Structure 1
Amino acid sequence: MLKLENVRKNYDRFTLDCSLEVQPGCITGLVGQNGAGKSTTFKAVLGLIRADGGRITLMGKDASALSPADREKIGVVLSDSGVSEYLSIKDVSAMLQGFYHSFDRRYFLDQCRKYQLPVDKRIKEFSTGMKARLKLLIAISHGADFLLLDEPTAGLDVLARDSLLDILREYMEQDESRAILISSHISTDLEGICDDLYMIHQGRIILHEETDVLLGSYGLLKLDAQEYESIDKQYFLRVKKEPYGYSALTDQKQFYMENYPKAVIENSGIDEMMTMMIRGERV
């Protein structure tokens, strides 16, 4: 569905050099700190910035060669996008009907009511969560087969984020050929919905793995100095000095559980992995 091959964008103090792939039927997550390159990646895919090198293929075509009809198949939510807050949802639906040939007005209004968005009120009266739901419903209501969602849950409380994830799950269930690329610095949002995750830091992908593998095979060892000196380090990805000794990230948790049964081994969440991959050192 989407493939980036060594896509580069150079700024004075930042360089993006990114390769990633989103397969049909998959939700792929892009996680990283603020400023890591997530939004730059999205803007390069959409042609909002011109890449300095590399290749972007979207829905089987070079991204620069997409027709207007092709682009209607892409639903987009950017962190700084939106519609005039002086409009109502009914006003927005009329506007979208003029923008998109395949806009489904009845479906859009039904979904707005389903997710408790008043269709007659001005959008400026909506809560932050309601505005976020509206942006996502706009993105999925014109026959989009592929969604690009840049930080759609930013600034939302737990219930509002969960409501957005419900919309995404329903969207994917309707057609197994659809795909989503979603970015977030809130990793717990992505753990429960993504098939695979890319971790980006300073413009470069530093880790890519299926989510089930990340949550099942990766672990964090907590070792004192003596344990660290004697343990087999061949499966350590990163090591970090701690007040008690060392923490070590591994993608072979089972190996250490079987061979070092007395070692303290914790399940590693995405946040811990990201911290270790960024701040830890290679062995």
Structure 2
Amino acid sequence: MLRLEHVTKHYKGFDLECSMEVRKGCVTGLVGKNGAGKSTTFKAILGLISPEGGSLQIFGKPAQDLDLQDKARIGVVLSDSGFSGSLTVQELIPILRAMYPDFQKDNFLKKCEEFSIPTKKKLQEFSTGMKQKLQVLTAISHNARLLVLDEPTAGLDVIARDHLLDLLREYMEPGDRSILISSHISADLEGFCDDLYMIHEGKIILHEDTDVLLDSYALLKMTEEQYDALDKSYVLRYKKETFGYSCLTDQKQFYLENHPEITVEKGSIDELILMMICGKALG
């Protein structure tokens, strides 16, 4: 559905070099701290910036060869963009109809009602959460095959986030659609994504199926003496702590069976990000 191979972009003080894939029928998450390169990657995918190297394919075609029909099959939410504040939802509808041949007006208005989005109020009077919900509803309103969603749950309370993720799960039901999503709320991604890429300083530093991350990765906590005696064959990162050491592993079961003296904790995605970025590699 979407493939980036060594896509590069240079800015003063920042270089992007990204390779990743979003498979058909899958939800792929992109995680990393602010400034890591998530939004730059999304803009490269959407043609909002021009990559300086590498290849980028969407629907099996080079991105630069997409026609208007192909582009209409992509739904987009970007964290730093939106609609003109002088419009109402009712005034937005003819614009969406002109942009997207498959725009589904009746379903769009039904979803606006479900999410308590007023159709006659100017968008500049909307709260941040209402604007975010409107962007997501617009992205799924025209039978898109690929959604590119940059922080779609930002500004939403926990109930609205849950409702929105249910809506995206419903969108995925036909089986031939895909989503690329970023979010700083790791719990959303843990329960929603099939696989995750971690980006840091413009480079992908980890890619793993979400089930593997949650089942096989773990944080190991131990004293200095236990660390010195530890079999470090499967330690990905380590960090000095006041109590001794924390280590990140992708072989939780190995340490449960062979080092019962240390503490083995199931790590969250937030903790994984912290260890991958702030921890040190062995050797």
Residues 161-191 of structure 1: per-residue CA shift (max 9 Å, x gap):
2222122111112x10100000122222211
**What is the rounded CA distance, in whole Å, between the counterparts of 1:99 and 1:20 in structure 2?**
29
Aligned equivalent of 2:79: 79
What amino acid is aligned across from residue 282 of structure 1 in structure 2?
A: A
Shift >4 Å, 4+ stretches: none
SS at match of 1:69: helix
Aligned equivalent of 1:212: 211
Aligned equivalent of 1:257: 256
**What is the rounded CA distance, in whole Å, between the counterparts of 2:194 and 2:187 in structure 1?**
13
2:201 is the alignment partner of 1:202? yes
Aligned equivalent of 1:188: 187
**What is the rounded CA distance, in whole Å, between the counterparts of 2:162 and 2:145 in structure 1?**
22
Q: What's the CA shift for 1:124? A: 2.9
What amino acid is aligned across from residue 167 of structure 1 in structure 2?
A: L
What amino acid is aligned across from residue 151 of structure 2 in structure 1?
A: E
Q: What's the CA shift for 1:256? A: 0.5
2:58 is the alignment partner of 1:58? yes
Q: What's the CA shift for 1:73? A: 0.2
What amino acid is aligned across from residue 259 of structure 1 in structure 2?
A: N
2:109 is the alignment partner of 1:109? yes
On the 8 A contact 1:93/1:108 being kept in 2, the answer is no
Root-mean-square deviation (CA), in Å?
1.1
**What is the rounded CA distance, in whole Å, between the counterparts of 1:86 and 1:152 in structure 2?**
22
Q: What is the percentage of aligned positions where both structures have the same residue?
A: 59
Aligned equivalent of 1:238: 237
**What is the rounded CA distance, in whole Å, between the counterparts of 2:64 and 2:6 in structure 1?**
16
**What is the rounded CA distance, in whole Å, between the counterparts of 2:86 and 2:46 in structure 1?**
27
2:153 is the alignment partner of 1:153? yes
In structure 2, stretches of 5+ residues that fail to align are: none
2:27 is the alignment partner of 1:24? no
Q: What's the CA shift for 1:89? A: 1.4
**What is the rounded CA distance, in whole Å, between the counterparts of 1:210 and 1:45 in structure 2?**
22
Q: What's the CA shift for 1:84? A: 1.9
On the 8 A contact 1:148/1:180 being kept in 2, the answer is yes
**What is the rounded CA distance, in whole Å, between the counterparts of 1:265 and 1:153 in structure 2?**
32
Aligned equivalent of 1:279: 278
**What is the rounded CA distance, in whole Å, between the counterparts of 1:256 and 1:103 in structure 2?**
53
SS at match of 1:212: helix
TM-score w.r.t. length of structure 2:
0.97
SS at match of 1:189: helix
**What is the rounded CA distance, in whole Å, between the counterparts of 1:8 and 1:188 in structure 2?**
30
SS at match of 2:159: helix
On the 8 A contact 2:219/2:265 being kept in 1, the answer is yes
The number of aligned residues is 282
**What is the rounded CA distance, in whole Å, between the counterparts of 2:114 and 2:158 in structure 1?**
19
**What is the rounded CA distance, in whole Å, between the counterparts of 2:123 and 2:191 in structure 1?**
30
In structure 1, stretches of 5+ residues that fail to align are: none
Bigger drift between 194-203 and 90-99 goes to 90-99
On the 8 A contact 1:32/1:38 being kept in 2, the answer is yes
Q: What's the CA shift for 1:82? A: 1.2
Aligned equivalent of 1:130: 130
On the 8 A contact 2:32/2:200 being kept in 1, the answer is yes
